[in-house]
Amino acid sequence: MNYYVTTSIPYVNGDPHLGHALEFIMADVLARYARAEKTPTIFSTGTDEHGGKIAEKAKELGMTPQAFCDQMSQKFRDLQKKLDISNDRFVRTTDPGHEQRAQIIWKALEKDIYKASYEGWYCTGCETFVPEAVVKEKGGTCPDHNRPYEKLKEDNYFFKLSAYTDKIKKAITDGSFHIVPTTRKHEILNIIGDKLEDISISRPKDKISWGIPVPGDDSQVMYVWFEALMNYITVLGYPEHEDFKKFWPANV
């Protein structure tokens, strides 16, 4: 039996804080316990480094996006060193290996990817599209970033998440995908409802250039929320490395 523990990878638009430290320590406890039990263990963490918010912050500071990411990622490494965190891996989404494997994953998903026009309200600070009802409720301004929502119309690639509604619900219901506490399990099932919506997984390069290019379409980059989540398998060497075959799926 092998043990794979992960943390969420912090977005480098801000400095490390107590919440990051808490998550690192909790994961570290699990990894150390597994090792003490003589269980082969991989403990992975890292930093999330693409997106419009990063490019905007770098420009504000008179830096290139890569230089800004290098500086900020090091701060998270320094925090982990101070806390004596025992991670085996540290993945950066700007690592060439991650970028290469992210494109391999995209190609593996192509049968469920299509291109379409999308129009909606967008917040650069949140790096996400916002429903019309929320825009009206907030008076047209994002309360977290104190900036007006932008109305955008653009061509994006979409992932057919709707095709996996039943499979996801079944995995949650039968416990093969374990959600705790139980109240959160019921909450997720209610959010899914009868059918999941397809999700946007790319942005036009002329609007957000700081991202991983979409294979076969230089006019688009992968949406940061889609690409960053790939880190949990790219760090294991997906698809061919023995670590991926032995340690995936993750335990935590």
- φ, ψ for residue 182, nearest 5 deg: -60, -35
Whether 178 is in a domain gets the answer: no
Whether 184 is in a domain gets the answer: no
Q: Are 106 and 113 in contact (CB under 8 A)?
A: yes
The tens digit of pLDDT for each residue in 193-251 reads 888 989 999 999 998 999 999 999 999 999 999 999 999 999 999 999 999 999 999 99
CA 117 to CA 158: how far, in whole Å? 10
Structural domain boundaries, residue 210: 3-160+198-247
* Residue 248 confidence (pLDDT): 97
Q: Are 43 and 5 in contact (CB under 8 A)?
A: yes
* Residue 138 confidence (pLDDT): 87
Whether 252 is in a domain gets the answer: no
* Residue 245 confidence (pLDDT): 96
Mean pLDDT confidence for 89-107: 98
Whether 139 is in a domain gets the answer: yes
Q: What CATH number should be reported for the domain holding residue 40?
A: 3.40.50.620
Helix, strand, coil shares of the chain as percentages rounded to 5?
45, 25, 35
| pLDDT tops 90 at residue 70 | yes
Whether 183 is in a domain gets the answer: no
Whether 185 is in a domain gets the answer: no
Whether 225 is in a domain gets the answer: yes
**Number of domains observed in the structure of the chain:** 1
pTM of the predicted structure, to 2 decimals = 0.88
* Residue 205 confidence (pLDDT): 95
